[in-house]
Amino acid sequence: MSRCPALYDEHATLNATFTDFAGWQMPLKYGSELSEHRAVRTAAGLFDLSHMGEIAVRGPQAAEALDYALAGKMSAVAPGRAKYSLLCDESGGVLDDLVVYRLADDDYMVVANAANAPTVFSELGQRAIGFDTEVVDESAGTALLALQGPRAAAALATLLDETGRAALPDLKYYASTRATVGGLDVLLARTGYTGEDGFELYVATADAPVLWRALLQATTAADGLPCGLACRDTLRLEAGMALYGHELSADTNPYEAGLGRTVALDKKFVGHDALQRLSEQPPARRLTGLTGTGRRAARAGYRILADGEPVGVVTSGALSPTLGHPVALGYVDANAADDGTALTVDIRGSAVDYTVTAPPFYKRPRA
């Protein structure tokens, strides 16, 4: 049976269309997913991400425990900052991709994908054995909202006090701070999954409805919209961001996924030896971008061809609402994955032209 987020009634009031996502009833869209996508690109969009998992790792050896558990070096993250990292298995396969916040010297919050949260909690607990730390699943008591778009900062500022408004411009990307938003205590982070400037707000589940209503009012005043998972997917695809279960899985490793930069081989961690070996040889396949010129979108699972022969498979694809042409991500044999290579995708029996294009497909304009 699907679980309902704390904001289910709020979404229902807005006539949301719901979908089952990782065992949760989540809003797919409220009206037009195209309008929601464009609102994030041009103004602001408000998302409920309360299906994500939040796991606390605390104690004198929390940094050491996470250094051993994850591919990245969490001990090098300064308090108040965050880092993208990977949880790998012994063979180097990716069990989940994560964002890790260092809230204090001995206090971290690991944010896991919804479908993988139980696995992440279990693995972190097992890998923390022998370290002076505790691992606590705080997902049930934590709600997560995201405000994204070029007017997100201005909309958020209307809910901050004078001190908070003054400090907001100095909150860097992948940084977090405690803040009072709409009179509620939140962890405010300048992070997101859309390719736009924006914020993610972690709040006590009991306070989520009040925070949602305040943020929704500020969002609509900025000509924005509440947004569902449908446009979240097209936004992240345009930005070239991987989605677990599509671009990442236990059958993929960081190097073929283009995430070798997240692996710190100068420390020991679960999967280190396998990833050390993988780092010493070029990957046989590479995750790359593809762009088409027509209107036919390459979807997940479609075959990628070179001279009529299979050389890869699409992992995500859509007709880009922002760019007006199809874009896709997929794994391609290394000898056919160079930027500019002409390929085709088998779309329902037709060979449709695509070109290898290094992601991201969309980059937000800089002020």
In a domain, 243, yes or no: no
pLDDT reported for residue 3: 78
Question: Are residues 211 and 160 part of one domain?
Answer: yes
DSSP 125: H
pLDDT reported for residue 367: 63
Output the domain CATH number for residue 71: 3.30.70.1400
In a domain, 260, yes or no: no
Output the domain CATH number for residue 167: 3.30.1360.120
Q: pLDDT tens for residues 94-132? A: 999 999 999 999 999 999 999 999 999 999 999 999 999
What's the mean per-residue pLDDT of the chain?
97
pLDDT reported for residue 167: 94
> Containing domain of residue 174, as a range?
8-52+141-238
How sure is the predictor about 5, in pLDDT bands with cuts at 50, 70 and 90?
confident
- Inter-axis angle of helices 117-127 and 62-69, to 10 degrees? 120
**DSSP alpha helices (H): ranges in 222-324?**
229-238, 272-279
pLDDT reported for residue 365: 86
Question: Are residues 227 and 160 part of one domain?
Answer: yes
Question: Are residues 65 and 128 part of one domain?
Answer: yes
Output the domain CATH number for residue 354: 2.40.30.110
Compute the residue count for the chain: 367
pLDDT reported for residue 4: 77
What does the block give as tokens for 124?
């972190």
Q: Which of 95, 122, 137 is the last residue of a domain?
A: 137
Question: Are residues 314 and 350 part of one domain?
Answer: yes
Peptide bond into 118 cis (omega under 30): no
Q: Which of 102, 137, 172 is the last residue of a domain?
A: 137
In a domain, 28, yes or no: yes
In a domain, 256, yes or no: no
Q: pLDDT tens for residues 265-321? A: 999 999 999 999 999 999 999 999 999 998 999 999 999 999 999 999 999 999 999
Domain count, the chain: 3
Angle at 193 between CA 41 and CA 260, to 5 degrees: 130
In a domain, 211, yes or no: yes
On whether the CB atoms of residues 150 and 197 are closer than 8 A, the answer is: yes
Question: Are residues 120 and 69 part of one domain?
Answer: yes
On whether the CB atoms of residues 180 and 83 are closer than 8 A, the answer is: no
